[in-house]
Amino acid sequence: MTEFLHPTVLFLIGAVLIPVLNGLLRKIWLLLVPVLAIISVATATPGDYGSLRFLGQEILIARVDKLSLVFATVFTIMSLIGMIYALHLKRGDQHVAAFAYVGSALGVVFAGDYLTLFLFWEGMAFASAYLIFAKRDQAAARAGFRYLMVHLTGGVALLAGIVIYGAANGSVLFGPVEGAMGVATYLILAAFMLNAAVPPLNAWLTDAYPEATVTGAVFMSAFTTKTAVYVLARAFPGTELLVWLGTAMAIYGVIYAVLENDCRRLLAYHIVSQVGYMVAGVGIGTEMAVNGAASHAFAHILYKALLFMGAGAVIYVTGRRKLTELGGLYRTMPLTVALYMIGAFAISAFPFFSGFVSKSMVVAAAGYDHRAWVMLLLTLASSGTFLHTGLKLPYYMFFAKDSGLRPPEPPRNMLIAMSIAAALCIGIGVYPAPLYALLPHEVDFVPYTAQHVTESLGILMFTALGFVLFLKSLDPEKTISLDTDWVYRKGARAFMWVADVPVARFEQAVSRFSETVGLRFLHRSANASLRADLGGVDAVVNGVASTILQGGRRLRRVQTGIVSQYAVAMVAGVVAAIAVYAVVWQ
């Protein structure tokens, strides 16, 4: 790979060296690695790199083309912004996890085969999970275990699909799926859709992101779902199912955001909604639609990170994240308010902000493809986004009632990171040509027409009017809403009940039988047949009985985290068995 320095290498080496560096030297290193990665991507020459044979399969470590470069460009830019935002952290563990996370995401983006993709796919799951556990409280630990449970299950499905796909096609090279969909492609598609948070496989996102650390949530908002959008665009462009799933996502996230009181959970639901535009664009599959999905992913990473940074800054200085506990912060945090609102205008697709020049491309592609319902629903979702992210959340977080809090602005490095993201949101919105030049296909789209600007402003202004008229109805309530995570939350409880009641009772019955009947029978049989010293036999028998009893006691002390791991193992075993059966059957 003489003409291409893989940025993953930079981040993985960077992660290894972080623990041995301290003070100013560590901070320089944390910024230097992302800068070098940006340069590496900017100077990359399109082509295939790192081709080799492994277990009879052709492995292609890096495939560099316009589709991979547009995602890699924004990933490396976001890594620099995220590191600036996290620069104040004293401990290096989150920095190490973030580097491993970014490096793994870039590994997926450049992967030319499914085996390479799978390794980095799992690397993303474990690295990002640490950013949840690093919060070090009970809620984060539970959310982290659920997050791992879901993503490891998705990883098993992906691996099963890869094995079947490789056996059927004789190759594991990663590219557009052609021909009829089979078991392998459905398993791979399901794994990709899980990481894209396509309902009903979306609850892991809104469950875990609010429980991550302040800085960790910023990184998580940028990489996992957008990496999934990339692999969908690479493998499944033009898949009709994705059009309707993506459109449903856009509406689904907006509806659930209505119920939210937690500021980061509300923003997480709008990740689901905005990724819906990208998934729908991939499903439409035309050049404009794929361009729209890629450009919207680029814009979304920046403005969503800015929104999470703004909410994170509030949590950092106040220790609170519920809208019912906040208000009146504009008095002492005016810079944070201003920077947050830039992100809010961008996600709401205001003219001269980045979302306007990217989101509208997906909507226009639906119109050009004669999909009136898709176009209408995506437009309605945009109105809902402005209602909740651009109006409701900032109103109740920064204005509304006076909560009595007088926090200072967050640390300077946080404000600098937010300012960079805000500048890019405005810069892309005012002058989108550099972004359009990065897209995988030639762009034939002009966002700033009189009709488009007028229509967009009309929808946004009527949304604002509705917010004012129905303000009291939008007051946040002190409630917690459950999504499809209800299934595995309740499922874990049901599993615990099975372990604690019928299984435990069966164990008790076995223990009583072994103590009253089994041991006596063994003693009498041994005395009658051997007439010898039974000291050694007694020791063995009693040892076996003791082991059974101790195992029963341990079973009664099973904890939720272990049950979650056991559930993962069960699911993994079932999926693996299905995969093996499918290979043999084919």
SS3 content of the chain, % helix, strand, coil (to 5): 75, 5, 20
Q: How confident is the model at residue 114 (pLDDT cuts 50, 70, 90)?
A: very high
Q: How confident is the model at residue 256 (pLDDT cuts 50, 70, 90)?
A: confident
Cβ atoms of 561 and 141 within 8 Å: the answer is yes
pLDDT tens-digit profile of 62-95? 999 999 999 999 999 999 999 999 999 998 999 9
Q: How confident is the model at residue 515 (pLDDT cuts 50, 70, 90)?
A: low
pLDDT tens-digit profile of 531-577? 544 444 444 445 444 543 444 444 344 334 433 443 444 444 444 44
Residue 398: in which H helix or E strand, if any? helix 393-398
pLDDT of residue 182: 85
Looking at 431-484, list the stretches that DSSP marks H as alpha helix, in order from N- to C-terminal side.
433-438, 450-469
pLDDT of residue 467: 85
Please check the confidence at residue 296 and state whether its pLDDT lies above 50: yes
pLDDT of residue 572: 45
Please check the confidence at residue 259 and state whether its pLDDT lies above 90: no
Q: What is the mean pLDDT of the chain?
A: 85
Nearest to 48 by CA among 59, 58, 66, 62: 62
Q: How confident is the model at residue 291 (pLDDT cuts 50, 70, 90)?
A: very high
Please report, for residues 123, 446, 492, 504, 552, the alpha-carbon distance to residue 498 in angstroms, rounded to integers and kept in the order given.
Answer: 33, 60, 10, 8, 14
d(CA 222, CA 243): 22
Please check the confidence at residue 418 and state whether its pLDDT lies above 70: yes
Residues above pLDDT 70, as percent of the chain: 82
pLDDT tens-digit profile of 175-200? 888 776 789 999 999 999 999 999 88
Q: How confident is the model at residue 230 (pLDDT cuts 50, 70, 90)?
A: very high
pLDDT of residue 499: 61
Q: How confident is the model at residue 344 (pLDDT cuts 50, 70, 90)?
A: very high
Tokens representing residue 88 in the block: 């104040």
Place of tokens 């099973």: 558
- Greater pLDDT, 195 or 50: 195
The DSSP string of 49-105 is EEEEEETTEEEEEEEESHHHHHHHHHHHHHHHHHHHHTTT-SSSHHHHHHHHHHHHH
pLDDT of residue 133: 95
Q: CB atoms < 10 A from the CB of 573, how many?
A: 11
> The dihedral of CA 420, 422, 426, 431: what is its sign?
positive
Structural domain boundaries in the chain? 237-483, 485-585
- Greater pLDDT, 519 or 516: 516
Please check the confidence at residue 508 and state whether its pLDDT lies above 60: yes
Q: How confident is the model at residue 55 (pLDDT cuts 50, 70, 90)?
A: confident
pLDDT of residue 4: 83
pLDDT of residue 248: 94
pLDDT tens-digit profile of 13-25? 999 999 999 989 9
- Greater pLDDT, 435 or 555: 435
pLDDT of residue 528: 59
pLDDT of residue 504: 64
